[in-house]
Structure 1
């Protein structure tokens, strides 16, 4: 899942429906994606490749084959689309919360209940699926496609030994994000671009509800008694912890989503979401549904802190330019 969308900082009422969705969210989203992407690549490979025995095995193998570039395969598309996705997600949350408050309390400015925040967060997660599914398919395909080892790897012939016969080695199937999207659309049709969308809906719906609700609760807990809002440190801590909680509940469906979206590069293994769940659990045990959980949680905290730091910095810059 892309970085869970951050709520407005302490300059706004963290539970209020009138939170603006300014341009700083675009910058903060890009920073969050760039910081967390290497760990996301490792996470996806662990979830889809049973050959990896752990995180460090995957990291060593990826670095041996492709060096640092291997951790950034498919980065350009998420970076280019994160602004649009963030705007749509945040706008959906804000407008949904405003309509709920207007319907329940007679005013969009009324303070919402935790149930209102949860429902609005769930709607935000569901809406973003229609934008992120093709991006996720391209990202996962690029992150998991086989690459040949570099010439400096173990496959190189030792000095002084006759070189083995040169055989043509096929290059990667996908040359980049746009080529990947075009290839999937041509070979698998429009449905191919939305593979795993059912798992993505289940993942983002309840994880964004968890994110927004936990952020709101944590902000209240971290607000000093003499203040109406938490300080910047409290907001950063609340955002980081909320991101960890959101990924903790999202990981099982994240595993299934990655497997469904990676399925299709060769012979198809899974007929659908339920078949993927049953097959994965039967072959690898229930623990398979929590593959990448540690990486998701470790990535969520610093990434969400980066999102908030970038957001605050851009807001201060914007205020300075306007004054």
Structure 2
């Protein structure tokens, strides 16, 4: 049941937030010497004007394809972990969330690699990949397994604390807001708790996401700029200063609230509907 609820919640989140994610990636990896976009809204307008509204949904295939696996791991591991630990405490919410976040990287990293590469393609540039599977196949042929897992370390650095903070914040806010089963006003409260949980998790790990995006976009067009994580950090800070770690943050936070509000609220309500209010009330992560 956690798998099904996670998939339904995740799908709603992807549909709501993917346009913001496309803007975020374009801003994170654009050339600082010849920037194409002045900011979040200029990037959004430029994509729609030059590539139509569908341009905002480039790379949506990988998140949708990996959705079942990622949500099966995240919600399944977190829920099972809470049952094994036996106590529904904030610390346990963080620990089980962090473990779930680390384990799902095996699917998340290749998926986000393909997403990033597809998002970097525009109508004015040469199309290297037809779709997400073609993208991963192309990378595997030229770079092997290591290429398909490009950015794995930074993904782990991002996802492990991110999901810990995610589940911890959601649990604390639900308790504070009084999201009791049967509460007629529970939906707005769940949306608020989910949205704020997403914002909190991104604020904690955003610098790692910037480096991950740059490493995964590196090599497009045959040119490699970075020799690894440390070199990417050094070059980025040297050219753009420490504010580079906030590049695309506005788009990310604008995306984080509605995406996670939709994801966690849908997940919670789906479980309550499927299991009944009484059973869902005893369910650890809900």
TM-score (normalised: structure 2)? 0.87
Q: Is the 8 A contact 1:256 1:277 kept in 2?
A: yes
The CA distance in 1 between the partners of 2:3 and 2:119, in whole Å, is 31
Match of 2:77 among 83, 86, 92: 92
1:186 corresponds to: 141
Q: Deviations over 1:205-235 (max 9, x none)?
A: 11111111111111121118xx689733322
SS at match of 2:224: coil
Could you tell me how far 1:83 is from its partner in structure 2? 1.7
Q: Is the 8 A contact 2:114 2:132 kept in 1?
A: yes
Match of 1:29 among 10, 13, 38: 10
Number of residue equivalences: 269
Could you tell me how far 1:182 is from its partner in structure 2? 0.5
The CA distance in 2 between the partners of 1:136 and 1:236, in whole Å, is 26
The CA distance in 1 between the partners of 2:272 and 2:172, in whole Å, is 26
Q: Is the 8 A contact 2:98 2:160 kept in 1?
A: yes
Match of 2:195 among 240, 249, 259: 240
2:20 corresponds to: 39
Is 1:304 aligned with 2:280? Answer: no
Is 1:205 aligned with 2:160? Answer: yes
Match of 1:131 among 107, 129, 132: 107
Further displaced range: 183-192 or 67-76? 67-76
Q: Which has the larger radius of gyration?
A: 1
The CA distance in 2 between the partners of 1:54 and 1:199, in whole Å, is 25
Structure with more helix by fraction = 2
Is 1:282 aligned with 2:238? Answer: yes
The CA distance in 1 between the partners of 2:22 and 2:54, in whole Å, is 11
**For residues 66-77 of structure 1, what are the structure 2 equivalents within 5 Å?**
66-77=51-62
SS at match of 2:123: coil
The CA distance in 2 between the partners of 1:284 and 1:86, in whole Å, is 36
Could you tell me how far 1:309 is from its partner in structure 2? 4.6
Could you tell me how far 1:312 is from its partner in structure 2? 5.5
Q: Which runs of 5+ in 1 are unaligned?
A: 1-19, 102-107, 149-169
Further displaced range: 80-89 or 21-30? 21-30
Q: CA RMSD in A?
A: 2.1
Could you tell me how far 1:114 is from its partner in structure 2? 2.2
Could you tell me how far 1:36 is from its partner in structure 2? 0.4
Q: Is the 8 A contact 2:7 2:67 kept in 1?
A: yes
Could you tell me how far 1:273 is from its partner in structure 2? 0.9
Q: Is the 8 A contact 2:190 2:265 kept in 1?
A: no
Q: Is the 8 A contact 1:219 1:229 kept in 2?
A: no
1:260 corresponds to: 215
TM-score (normalised: structure 1)? 0.78
